[in-house]
Amino acid sequence: MNLFADAFAWLAAPEQWSGSGALPERFGEHLVLTLLALAIATVVAVPLGYLVGHTGRGRQLVVALSGAGRALPSLGLLTVLTLLVGVGDAALAATAVLVVLGVPSVLAGAYAGVENVDHAVVDSARAQGMTRWQVLTRVEAPLGLPLLVGGMRSAALQIVATAVLAAYVGLGGLGIYIQRGISLQRYDEMLGAAIAIVALALAVDGVFALLARLALRVSGGRGTLGATSPTEGRT
């Protein structure tokens, strides 16, 4: 209990909230890196997921790649990429690692959302003369939005947690405190940083919970509001 008290005392200390390298700056660095990686992962994964869900082709390959992406050791991958591109481009390596981590969840959410749309609704849209593109953009994508947001929600939480590793290549973020705490054996700082990361993750999750409710309204009440593992849909 004393360690937790020390951690909260460290978090509440005035010097942690002002000046260069203070908590607000580290929160900002962590959040920017998270949002950048999530945005890139979404741009990469959503079109591919929609293609797979709409055509029904390549699903097994996508599931296999998603599983492989989740199984990759993040720290090892970060180290290898940093060595390949050079320390000067460590930001590129760290972003690539976080994108690789985020793509599987977003991809699964995209294709599962489209794939799980009622076939009767799709057939009705085609019977009205809609093209394949119109069916995707006006019917399947809106109805599959809750699962897509669920996939993005899962990806965001994974990225927030893993962005701690960015500190190991000099990119800042809340991981700086954990890295420094380990080297100096300052356990109050380590635990305080861990609490800060949890708080940031809860805030991000809260935002996506609101987006999930909005997506459910857009989809007309269809979908799974809390879906964070779209791969557990159809088999």
Average pLDDT over residues 144-160: 94
Q: Give per-residue pLDDT as tens, 60-87.
A: 777 777 777 777 777 778 878 877 877 6
Of 69-83, 98-112, 133-147, 202-216, where does mean pLDDT reach its minimum? 69-83
- Amino acid identity, residue 10? W
Contact 49, 107 (CB under 8 A): yes
Q: What is the DSSP letter of 169?
A: G
Read off the pTM: 0.85
pLDDT at 138 over 60: yes
Q: How many helices (H) and strands (E) does the chain have?
A: 11, 0
Q: Which residues contact 47 (CB under 8 A, 6 or more apart)?
A: none
Domains observed in the chain: 23-221 (1.10.3720.10)
Q: Give per-residue pLDDT as tens, 97-128.
A: 899 889 999 998 998 899 888 888 888 888 88
For the record, the structure tokens of 169 come out as 């290549």
